[in-house]
Amino acid sequence: MAQRLAVVGVGAVGGFFAARAAAGGTDVRLCVRRPFDELVVRSPDGVYRAELPVLTDPEQAEPVDWVLLATKTQQTPTAMPWLRRLVGPRTVVVVAQNGVRHAERVADAVSADRVVPAVVYVNAEPVAPGVVEHRNYGFMQVPAGVLADRLAVVLPGGGLVRSVDDFAVAAWTKLTANTAANSLTALTGRRLEVLRRDDIGRLAVAMMRETVAVAHAAGAAVPDDLPESTIDRLRDQPGDAGTSMLYDRLAGRPLEHEALIGAVVRIGAQYAVPTPVSAHILPMLAAISDAAISDAAAGP
């Protein structure tokens, strides 16, 4: 019998993996706030279309084998009613979100041994409810083990699930790039080309050095030269490529700063690792994000 997968949050990441899972024969249902008739993912290798059950109220949900949580991190509390309905005694929850310490975010609904933390790499953007523009690559890194092997059956084909022996290194490596790239594109309102400036490049490296110091203190053995290799890689990206935090800022949505640079500052404080540059950047992102929340509350 096909494995039952509920995708909570059908934006860029949720939409991409839901479409691939359905194409591979998994029994997928979509848990959303804004309904649509058809999931459409426009990818470089073709258009994936699927008419899948769309649920808009947690009361409609029943326990499944797998949950893929793909909301933004700051939206996780609002997704808890879904998780409480979808999680049964054997359900495994894949937390496909940026940042570190994924299991803590869903601890109210599921024990850590049934959480698969996932670091996602995909270049995709939601353009309308149920419609995703997928531009390039798409896979998730998860801790190697039995759950990873089982997840590869739920998300079959094309190396969508990649097992890593040291997940902490994978998560902190991505967070290192995210702290700089997301924050500085969102703050400047510019795409990744902004990192090619000498001054912004130096700022990015300073932020990433702080993240690496915190990663080391937290026990993740990321390479010492990760900031330098990461800035080189980011500068090589197409100049018009954006980041999800930039897209959120441009759309006037709240930002994911707390799970990214906020995590660096918080975890740094736990280990007495100084993070002065990150600590100065964080309130600026918080202020932008709070304004978006106030605007949304004020309505049109």
What are the residues binding ligand NAP (CB under 6 A)? Answer: 8-14, 31-34, 70-73, 75, 78-79, 82, 96-98, 120, 122-124, 126, 244, 256
From the CB of 198, what's the least distance to ligand NAP, in Å?
A: 27
From the CB of 73, what's the least distance to ligand NAP, in Å?
A: 5
Known active-site residue 72: no
From the CB of 272, what's the least distance to ligand NAP, in Å?
A: 28
From the CB of 132, what's the least distance to ligand NAP, in Å?
A: 8
Q: How many residues does the chain have?
A: 300
From the CB of 1, what's the least distance to ligand NAP, in Å?
A: 26
Nearer to ligand NAP, 18 or 273 (CB): 18
Nearer to ligand NAP, 61 or 208 (CB): 61
The candidate with the shortest Cα–Cα distance to 102, out of 70, 78, 124, is 70
Nearer to ligand NAP, 146 or 294 (CB): 294
User: Residues 54, 56, 57, CA angle at the centre, nearest 5°?
Assistant: 130
Nearer to ligand NAP, 99 or 273 (CB): 99
**Residue 69 φ/ψ, nearest 5 degrees:** -90, 115
Nearer to ligand NAP, 71 or 230 (CB): 71
From the CB of 77, what's the least distance to ligand NAP, in Å?
A: 8
Nearer to ligand NAP, 11 or 117 (CB): 11
Answer yes or no: are the C-beta atoms of 264 and 210 closer than 8 Å: yes
Q: Which of 85, 102, 174, 209 is catalytic?
A: 174
**167-188 helix and 261-270 helix, angle to the nearest 10 degrees:** 130
Residue least distant from ligand NAP (Cβ) = 11
Query: How far is Cα 258 from Cα 100, in angstroms, rounded to an integer?
Result: 11
| Catalytic residue ranges | 174
